[in-house]
């Protein structure tokens, strides 16, 4: 049995941890999904982008952890979550986050407004609506 906590990056520069996390895969990393998402809170950190790419590939297991970020108070983390992860999620997974996205788009906090979370949420919603719209026959 793998100790998932040992897989967590030790610093924002710990790129060596990423292949180990990917190799362990899901469900081995399920207990640390929230903590892994914390390492994507700043897109300038070297570990953020490769980790976000892997996490986005997990699909449905990310719904609840991402929802917790979107419902949280850290506007910067929300912005990076949207730019690094939400734009890469499959449409069916994104659809499960629609309620959170609509709330951010329509009722942003002051911090969310400063971070332009309302704008980012609207952009994600446009993608969702475009992909879910029935095609003309």
For residue 64, the domain's CATH number is 1.25.40.750
Total of domains in the chain: 1
For residue 75, being part of any structural domain is answered with yes
1 lies in a domain?
no
The residue range of the domain holding 50 is 13-132
Q: Does 111 map to a domain? A: yes
- The answer as to whether 6 is a domain residue is no
Of 14, 8, 85, 5, give the one whose Cα is nearest residue 45: 14
pLDDT interval class at 121 (50, 70, 90): very high
CA 88 to chain centre: 9
Q: What is the pLDDT of residues 73-118, one digit of tens each?
A: 999 999 999 999 999 999 999 999 999 999 999 999 999 999 999 9
Q: In this predicted model, what pLDDT tens digit does every residue of 10-21 receive, in sequence order? A: 999 999 999 999
Whether 36 and 51 have beta carbons less than 8 Å apart is answered as yes
Q: What is the pTM of this model?
A: 0.93
CB atoms near residue 97 (< 10 Å): 23
């Amino acid at each position: 049995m793998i100790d998932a906590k040992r897989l967590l990056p030790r610093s924002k520069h710990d790129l060596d941890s990423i292949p180990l996390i990917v190799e362990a895969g899901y469900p081995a990393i399920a207990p640390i999904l929230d903590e892994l998402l914390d390492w994507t809170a700043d897109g300038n950190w070297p570990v953020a982008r490769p980790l976000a790419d892997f996490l986005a590939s997990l699909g449905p297991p990310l719904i609840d952890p991402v929802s917790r970020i979107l419902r949280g108070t850290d506007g910067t983390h929300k912005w990076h979550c949207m730019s690094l992860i939400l734009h890469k999620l499959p449409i069916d997974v994104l659809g499960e986050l629609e309620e959170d996205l609509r709330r951010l788009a329509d009722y942003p906090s002051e911090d969310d407004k400063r971070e332009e979370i309302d704008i980012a949420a609207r952009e994600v919603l446009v993608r969702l609506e475009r992909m879910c719209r029935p095609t003309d026959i």
